[in-house]
Structure 1
Amino acid sequence: MKFYKAILAILLILIVENSIAQVEKNSVLFIELKKADSLTFDEGFNKCNYSALKKVLHKDLEFFHDLGGSQNLEQFYKAFSKNICGDSKYKPIRKLLPETLEVYPLRNNKKLYGAIQKGEHNFYIKEQNKDIYITGYAKFITTWIIENGNWKAKRILSYDHKPVKDYGEKFNANYAFPLFDNDKKIEELLTKHKIPSIALGVIKNGSLQQIRTFGNKKSGQPISSNSIYKVASLTKPITAFVVLKLIDEGVLDLDEPVSRYFIDEDIKDSKYLNKLTTRHILSHQSGFPNWRYLSDDNKLFFQFEPGTKWQYSGEGFEYLRRAVEKKLNHPFEEIAQEKLFNPLGMNNTHYYWTDKIDEKQYAVEHDKNGKPINYEKYTDANASANLLTTVEDYSKFLVHILNGAGLSKKNYSEFLKVQAQEKKGIDWSLGMQMLSDLPNNETAFMHTGGDYGTKTIVIIFKNSKDGLVLFSNSENGMILWQKVISEYFGEIGEEIVRRNLE
């Protein structure tokens, strides 16, 4: 019988690898099973929460382990009680590698009855009065069945267990990123996911601590600390703080109608025209769609009254740029250089291509297969996208924010406030996403940027004044940032990733 079960397990692996279509990671099915996996391991395995396990384990569970043999549900609970939760002084801990998680639906006549979930995880040991340390890693496949409307794990395969070479390697679960100390591992990840390069800026205690770069900006040309990336929507926080500095100087007011300085022809007759303020725009409550070109007539319009709800809008930031330029009678690039870039020494940052940019330093965008993409040299400022910058320059900007941004206490406190709610657990301040009530009573401010062939993310923490910048010139860069944040910031990072994936 064990022989046939082993054959079945192998066939299951082959099916997952070769035939069933994988679901998207933002799909309802993927998110539901990620939560179910969390009950199995985060609650059950890590916290010895038997009630959580009983919610997700099927009464006919079959558990296969390549080193420990096979078990039914009764045997599983007995071994679990003895080996996993029997000694509180020497506790095994499991951590999922989120970027490896995959889900494949199981259907019968198009009706969903189950799913196959696969991934990789690391195992650690937590001893009293010692830092947690890594012991090994493995792969897993779980077959989930829908029973009475609930997901139940009916078959679990745990295989390819391998010990780490340096058993007992120190690992600070709350604040560490072991990949920083393992260049070869990072390079392997880049190769595995066909990512040409990443550039990382590490901020600690309100100062830039480290810059690391891996891979190539283009074939055969290594990335460096002064390599220039197009950072997509990471343009928006820059724009927001240029505007906040103008507000601090009394040039603009956060709550005055933007129509005092600029009116777009498309909305000149709208009843909401004079209700739109700078605060609404910076907190994504303008009422505008993301981009007007997505509408049938290619015209700008209000989808709802400004300030009544949240909706991400690039048009809003562009509208504000035009208002500022008209008010000051200067191009926004010049205003940004004067108010932000020059004072901070952000010498390689521009809203568009200029003769000051060394094209040889450009990190060319790449598709999901690792092939370079033809890029466009924009020659006009866009307040929402296309900013060209380096990881060092953007890190300087974040350090500036963490240390008050040179603003008055009144205006800086406006940035620290929740201005709008995107969804439960994710709010927005002025120009940045805001995640409150994180572990250790921490609050994070973050923003992502993503165009075809480039994926970027920045994150800073209000209390610790730590932060991270990650640029990647790859369509696959999102895979890596989830791993980086989860591992580097430990429990806090995992919570941030979870909230963004839900």
Structure 2
Amino acid sequence: MKKINLLLAALIACCITAHAQQTATFKANHRVIETKQFNKQVNDMLTDIGIPGLSLAIINNDQVVFSNVYGSKTQLAGDQADPETIFEACSLSKSFLVFVAMQLADQQKLDLDKPLYEYLEYPLLQHDSRYKLITARMILSHSSGIENYKRENNAEVLELVAAPGTDFVYSSAGYVYLGNVIEVILKKSADTYLKELVYEPLQLHRTFSKYEKDGSYPQNYATGYTVFGKEIKKWKNDSVLVSGGIHTTAKDYATLITSIFNRKYLSDDRVKDITHGDIGLGDKGKLLYWGAGFGLQYAQGDTIIFQNGVQDGFRSWVYYSKKNKSGVAFFTNSSLGMSILKKLNELSVNLNIDPLLDDSDFEHYPDPALALLRIYRTGPVDNLFNKVAHTSNKELSFASLNNLALIIASDNKTVAKRLMEENRKRHPEKSEAYLELGKLDFRLKDYKSALANFTQCKLLNPGTTEVEGQIKECLKRLN
């Protein structure tokens, strides 16, 4: 028996080794990437920032040509992530429903432009007759007018915050409605139709809609961490949430993306639906749109589809070039995960995604603010201020130091105030320096200091209407 167990252990080890083996190079958008050097650069970046784990996949010529997992599932010693480790897909979960909806449209079971209430009346929206205008296309392009979550405005009512088909309003709640409609069309649960139409035909063996057996299945999952490295209790949804509850790997997800665009599963008409900009994204509307299922960037004769995802302790991204048939998908178990987007792109497919880089909750690596945050996390605080003092304005921009202070404010307002004061000292000509410091002073109930900062902000930039109300509030509390 002992020999048998040893043999089994050896076989398992061989399988894991074989699974982890990678070629010496891989191609990414007409570039040849040396795997060893690439892996080193990615590992160094994660260490520099303090991101525990990363699941990464790279697409070239509509094939997943590279995938790897870096770092750890948790911050416990030896808890290494591996190719089977699943991450929370966050809003990238919606892509699985997009794939299902487009298949049904090809089969003429779902009309993208037919009002959804004709398939399924929705009690949560019946209080507003405008909901009868909502179509599947509007849901997929986030132009239905449905708020993102019911709790955002009136916690008791799911609201339409814009007329259907008129404005971009990101809506996870809308995807839930569409998921319910598809259950009615197919007479199957979301769990069943996702397995039958997506996971099984695409052989996505490490993709799960929910946790089962009292949360004990699936195993081998990543745990999320805040920007300060604090562990977040693992969310294990025991029911299907099509808008954000799928758990997967980057390799599985990248396989889904290639299946959407390789014409093996969807028709040309469906790909056109996905890549047609139905609604503009605010003041970036000339460059960024949302089509039936994804965000769209039009630039230099190319269409780049994209989607990002945000949940507590997890960040995810996908972007894919229709012209070059290449892209990147990644999942991290850190709230700092967005900061790797720019560098990962430079190291791999090197697509023009500049308009997407603003959509980040922190600066992009290797911005010095990321290193400063890591110093703050490991302490002591004096080390942080010593480093700031020896970092020039050229290295550390106003925006970077301000963002650092805003993030630290959620953990230590006193430290944040010192950073903002340093930023004001460095940039006395910037009205924003006084505005942000005034806001923090107000939160600290130092109304006298807040009033002084708001007043100086107004002097430097008389057009800043935001401070008018702030000044009035300060005077009210001081009188």
Indicate the TM-score class for this superposition, using the shorter chain for normalisation: 0.5 to 0.7
Aligned position for 1:389: 248
CA distance in 1, matches of 2:237, 2:359: 34
- 1:144-164 CA deviation, whole Å, 9 max, x = no partner? xxxxxxxxxxxxxxxxxxxxx
- 1:459-488 CA deviation, whole Å, 9 max, x = no partner? 111011111111111111111123212443
- 1:128-176 CA deviation, whole Å, 9 max, x = no partner? xxxxxxxxxxxxxxxxxxxxxxxxxxxxxxxxxxxxxxxxxxxx99857
Contact 1:177 1:484 in 2 (8 A): no
Contact 1:367 1:474 in 2 (8 A): yes
Cα 1:394–1:173 shift into 2, 3 Å: closer
Aligned position for 1:437: 299
Contact 1:174 1:491 in 2 (8 A): no
Aligned position for 1:451: 311
Cα 1:316–1:479 shift into 2, 3 Å: same
Cα 1:173–1:469 shift into 2, 3 Å: closer
Single out whichever of 317-326 and 447-456 deviates more from structure 2. Answer: 317-326
Give the structure with the larger strand fraction: 1
Contact 1:229 1:390 in 2 (8 A): yes
- 1:343-390 CA deviation, whole Å, 9 max, x = no partner? 100122122113598544101111223232211210111121021111
Cα 1:305–1:495 shift into 2, 3 Å: closer
Aligned position for 1:485: 345
Contact 1:176 1:489 in 2 (8 A): no
Q: Tell me the SS of whatever aligns to 1:208.
A: strand
State how 1:191-340 maps to structure 2 within 5 Å: 191-218=47-74, 219=76, 220-340=78-198
Contact 1:418 1:428 in 2 (8 A): yes
Match for residue 416 of structure 1 among 275, 289, 293: 275
Cα 1:176–1:315 shift into 2, 3 Å: farther
- 1:405-454 CA deviation, whole Å, 9 max, x = no partner? 5122222321221111113211111111110124xx22211111110100
- 1:289-316 CA deviation, whole Å, 9 max, x = no partner? 1111122342112122211111111111
CA distance in 1, matches of 2:29, 2:357: 16
Shift of 1:495: 4.9
Q: Normalized against structure 1, the TM-score is what?
A: 0.61
Cα 1:321–1:488 shift into 2, 3 Å: same
Cα 1:261–1:357 shift into 2, 3 Å: farther
CA distance in 2, matches of 1:280, 1:339: 22
Q: Does 1:470 align with 2:330?
A: yes
Shift of 1:209: 0.5
Contact 2:51 2:337 in 1 (8 A): yes
Cα 1:458–1:357 shift into 2, 3 Å: farther
Cα 1:494–1:296 shift into 2, 3 Å: closer
Cα 1:324–1:402 shift into 2, 3 Å: closer
CA distance in 2, matches of 1:389, 1:325: 22
Q: Tell me the SS of whatever aligns to 1:309.
A: coil
Cα 1:289–1:178 shift into 2, 3 Å: farther
Match for residue 371 of structure 1 among 215, 221, 230: 230
Cα 1:500–1:366 shift into 2, 3 Å: closer
CA distance in 1, matches of 2:360, 2:225: 24
CA distance in 2, matches of 1:201, 1:257: 37
Cα 1:358–1:221 shift into 2, 3 Å: farther
Q: Tell me the SS of whatever aligns to 1:464.
A: coil
Q: Tell me the SS of whatever aligns to 1:374.
A: coil
CA distance in 2, matches of 1:385, 1:264: 20
- 1:271-292 CA deviation, whole Å, 9 max, x = no partner? 3132111011000011111111
Aligned position for 1:183: 39
Cα 1:182–1:287 shift into 2, 3 Å: closer
The amino acid across from 1:302 in the alignment is: L
Shift of 1:263: 2.3
- 1:22-68 CA deviation, whole Å, 9 max, x = no partner? xxxxxxxxxxxxxxxxxxxxxxxxxxxxxxxxxxxxxxxxxxxxxxx
The amino acid across from 1:181 in the alignment is: Q
Shift of 1:242: 0.9
Aligned position for 2:403: none
Aligned position for 1:404: 263
Shift of 1:178: 7.2
Aligned position for 2:415: none
What is the count of residue pairs matched by the alignment?
A: 330
Give the structure with the larger helix fraction: 2
State how 1:3-42 maps to structure 2 within 5 Å: none
Q: Which runs of 5+ in 2 are unaligned?
A: 1-27, 364-479
Q: Tell me the SS of whatever aligns to 2:357.
A: helix
The amino acid across from 2:180 in the alignment is: R
Q: Which runs of 5+ in 1 are unaligned?
A: 1-171
Cα 1:411–1:187 shift into 2, 3 Å: closer
The amino acid across from 2:277 in the alignment is: V
Contact 1:443 1:462 in 2 (8 A): yes
Identity fraction in percent: 25
State how 1:137-176 maps to structure 2 within 5 Å: 175=31
Shift of 1:182: 4.4
Cα 1:489–1:411 shift into 2, 3 Å: closer
